[in-house]
Amino acid sequence: MLNELLKRYPCLESAREDIVKAENTLITAFKNGNKLLICGNGGSCADCEHIVGELMKGFLSKRPLTEEQKAEMKANCPEIEEKYLSLLQRAVPAIALPSFTALNTAFCNDVEPELVFAQCLMGLGKKDDILLCISTSGNSKNVVAAALTAKALGIKTIGLTGKTGGKLKSICDICVCVPETEAFKVQELHLPVYHYLCARVEEKLF
């Protein structure tokens, strides 16, 4: 699957090693019961939501519940309809931090905008979870602050940035730097990278 990605986007060859590291880190974390937290601004904020959408339901496959899951859910709640059990899908825990509109706007207004995503980590982050930091420049102040806070909490960090990596490159445990510098061109390459990662998670876990 990686070879297919690189065949379609040969410019990503420079990021091959870090893409593989990100893939393995995500799969291990999910297998161990940890969750993914994601932050970014603007177009990268939209990417946060996009990634959650691919992980929390079927992406390339339908992910039906296992018979064991159905039996356990039925035992816990005999009233649950069979239709529900046939339509619900297996998921992995992924949370887009920009989605907390009330919390985020209150914290920006009352405390400090730069720490908006960092504050989310104080309530949601646990040791060995993963924070995916998306920034085309790698220098977004609130994303950098979140990366530093994550490391302080024992949360693993993955950066998804442009060519230079910015500040995130030296902070994050893994940094996937796509070889573009203009924001829209960076974002165009971020999408196939995270689609690949979501597809590999789905393949390995389901």
pLDDT digit string (tens) for 70-97?
Answer: 999 999 999 999 999 999 999 999 999 9
Is 191 in the same domain as 113?
yes
Looking at residue 148, what is its pLDDT?
A: 98
Is 10 in the same domain as 34?
yes
- With cut-offs at 50, 70 and 90, classify the pLDDT of residue 140: very high
Is 139 in the same domain as 197?
yes
Is 68 in the same domain as 10?
no
Is 75 in the same domain as 101?
no
Is 113 in the same domain as 15?
yes
Is 35 in the same domain as 101?
yes
Looking at residue 49, what is its pLDDT?
A: 98
- With cut-offs at 50, 70 and 90, classify the pLDDT of residue 193: very high
Is 172 in the same domain as 115?
yes
CATH number of the domain where residue 193 is located: 3.40.50.10490
pLDDT digit string (tens) for 170-184?
Answer: 999 999 999 999 999
Mean pLDDT, all residues of the chain: 98
Looking at residue 182, what is its pLDDT?
A: 97
State the residue range of the domain holding 48: 2-56+91-205
As beta bridge partners, residue 161 has 177
pLDDT digit string (tens) for 87-130?
Answer: 999 999 999 999 999 999 999 999 999 999 999 999 999 999 99
Give the separation between CA 126 and CA 132, rounded to whole angstroms.
14
- With cut-offs at 50, 70 and 90, classify the pLDDT of residue 188: very high
Q: Write down the pTM of the prediction.
A: 0.96
Looking at residue 202, what is its pLDDT?
A: 98
State the CB neighbour count (10 A cutoff) for residue 64.
Answer: 16
Is 81 in the same domain as 33?
no
Amino acid identity, residue 124?
L
Is 72 in the same domain as 160?
no
Looking at residue 100, what is its pLDDT?
A: 98
- The domain tally of the chain equals 2
Looking at residue 38, what is its pLDDT?
A: 98
Answer whether 64's CB lies under 8 Å from 89's CB. yes
Is 82 in the same domain as 146?
no
Is 183 in the same domain as 108?
yes
Looking at residue 159, what is its pLDDT?
A: 98
Give the separation between CA 196 and CA 199, rounded to whole angstroms.
5
